[in-house]
Amino acid sequence: MKKARYILLLALVFIGAAITISGKVSDDNKISSDNESSTSGEIAPKLVVGIVIDQMRYDYLYRYWDQYSDGGFKRLIKGGFSCENHHFSYAPTYTGPGHASIYAGTTPAVHGIIANDWWSKETKEWMYCVADTTVTPVGTTAEMEKRSPRNIFVTNMSDEIKLANNYRGKIISVSIKDRGAILPGGKLADAAYWFTGIEGGKFVSSSYYMDVLPKWAQKFNDSKTIKNYLKEGWKPLLDMDEYTQSNPDDSPYEKVFMETTKAVFPYDLWAHSQGGKNANVLKETPFGNNLITDFGLLALEEEKLGEDDIVDVLTLSYSSPDYIGHNNGTRSVEIQDTYLRLDLSLEYLFKQLDEKVGEGEYLLFLTADHGAAIVPQELIDHKVNVEYFDRNSFVSFVKKATSKRYGSKKIIENMSNSQIFLSDKTMSDLGLVKKEVEDFLADKIMEFPGIFITTTATLMREGNFSGHRLLLQKGYNQKRSGNILYAINPGWISYPETGTTHGSPFNYDTHVPFILYGWGIEAGSTTRRTLVEDIAPTITSLLHVQAPMASTGNPVWEVNEIKK
- Report pLDDT for 26: 34
- Report pLDDT for 257: 84
End of a domain among 459, 488, 517?
Answer: 488
Q: Are residues 372 and 458 in the same domain?
A: no
Q: Are residues 444 and 329 in the same domain?
A: no
* In-domain check, residue 38: no
Confidence of residue 96 (pLDDT cuts 50, 70, 90): very high
Overall domain count for the chain? 3
- Is residue 4 pLDDT above 70, yes or no? no
Instruction: Check residue 388 and report its DSSP letter.
Output: B
Element of type H or E holding 51? strand 47-53
Query: What percent of the chain has pLDDT above 70?
Result: 92
Q: Which domain holds residue 6?
A: 2-32
CA proximity to 315, closest of 132, 62, 54, 541: 54
DSSP characters over 486-502:
EEEPTT-BSS-SSS---
The residue among 41 and 477 whose pLDDT is bigger is: 477
* In-domain check, residue 498: no
Q: Are residues 463 and 546 in the same domain?
A: no
Catalytic residue among 39, 93, 95, 367: 95
Residue 531, helix vs strand vs coil: strand
Q: What average pLDDT does this structure show over 319-343?
A: 98
- Report pLDDT for 259: 78
> d(Cα 412, Cα 410) in Å, to the nearest integer?
5
User: Which of 9-18, 36-45, 253-262 is predicted least confidently?
Assistant: 9-18
Label residues 21-32 b or e (16+ Cβ within 10 Å = b). Answer: bbeeeeeeeeee
Q: What average pLDDT does this structure show over 417-444?
A: 98
Q: What residues form DSSP beta bridges with 412?
A: 422
- Report pLDDT for 43: 84
- Report pLDDT for 199: 87
CA dihedral for 21, 521, 346, 245, sign (positive or negative): negative
- Report pLDDT for 17: 39
Interval 129-155: pLDDT, tens: 999 999 999 999 999 999 999 999 999
- Report pLDDT for 13: 36
DSSP characters over 61-84:
HHHTGGGS-TTTHHHHHHHSEEET
Q: Are residues 360 and 411 in the same domain?
A: no
* In-domain check, residue 37: no
- Report pLDDT for 31: 28
Q: What average pLDDT does this structure show over 509-528?
A: 97
CA proximity to 67, closest of 242, 248, 325: 242
Interval 235-266: pLDDT, tens: 999 999 999 999 999 999 999 988 788 999 99
Confidence of residue 207 (pLDDT cuts 50, 70, 90): very high
> d(Cα 209, Cα 182) in Å, to the nearest integer?
10
CATH at residue 295? 3.40.720.10
Mean pLDDT of the chain: 92
CA proximity to 130, closest of 109, 113, 142, 143: 113
Q: Are residues 162 and 284 in the same domain?
A: yes
136 counts as catalytic: no
DSSP characters over 430-475:
TT--HHHHHHHHHHHGGGSTTEEEEEEHHHHHH----HHHHHHHHT
- Report pLDDT for 239: 97
Confidence of residue 40 (pLDDT cuts 50, 70, 90): very low
- Report pLDDT for 504: 98
CA proximity to 467, closest of 91, 86, 52, 195: 91
Confidence of residue 35 (pLDDT cuts 50, 70, 90): very low
* In-domain check, residue 137: yes
- Report pLDDT for 166: 97
Q: What average pLDDT does this structure show over 264-283?
A: 95
Contacts of 99 (CB under 8 A, 6+ apart): 52, 179, 180, 183, 184, 317, 369
> d(Cα 362, Cα 351) in Å, to the nearest integer?
12
Measured CA to CA in angstroms, residue 399 lies from 120, 311, 395, 429 at distances of 20, 54, 6, 18
Q: Are residues 63 and 105 in the same domain?
A: yes
* In-domain check, residue 431: yes
Amino acid at 16: G
> d(Cα 341, Cα 335) in Å, to the nearest integer?
10
Q: What average pLDDT does this structure show over 445-465?
A: 97
Q: Are residues 422 and 477 in the same domain?
A: yes
Q: How far is CA 362 from the centre of its chain?
A: 21
- Tally DSSP H helices, then E strands, for the chain: 22, 20
- Report pLDDT for 358: 97
- Report pLDDT for 562: 60
Q: Are residues 236 and 101 in the same domain?
A: yes
Taking only Cα atoms into account, the Rg of the chain, rounded to an integer number of angstroms, comes to 25
Q: Are residues 282 and 370 in the same domain?
A: yes
- Report pLDDT for 563: 53
Q: Are residues 184 and 251 in the same domain?
A: yes
Q: What residues form DSSP beta bridges with 537?
A: none
CATH at residue 431? 3.30.1360.150
* In-domain check, residue 386: no
* Torsional class of 167: left (φ above 0), alpha (ψ -120 to 50), beta (otherwise): left
* In-domain check, residue 125: yes
> d(Cα 502, Cα 518) in Å, to the nearest integer?
31
> d(Cα 283, Cα 334) in Å, to the nearest integer?
13
Q: Are residues 269 and 398 in the same domain?
A: no
Element of type H or E holding 193? strand 191-196
- Report pLDDT for 90: 98
Say what the alpha-carbon torsion angle 461, 462, 464, 465 is, to the nearest 10 degrees: -60
Q: Are residues 319 and 417 in the same domain?
A: no
Measured CA to CA in angstroms, residue 198 lies from 141, 260, 274, 317 at distances of 11, 20, 11, 20
Answer yes or no: are the C-beta atoms of 503 and 418 closer than 8 Å: yes
* In-domain check, residue 325: yes
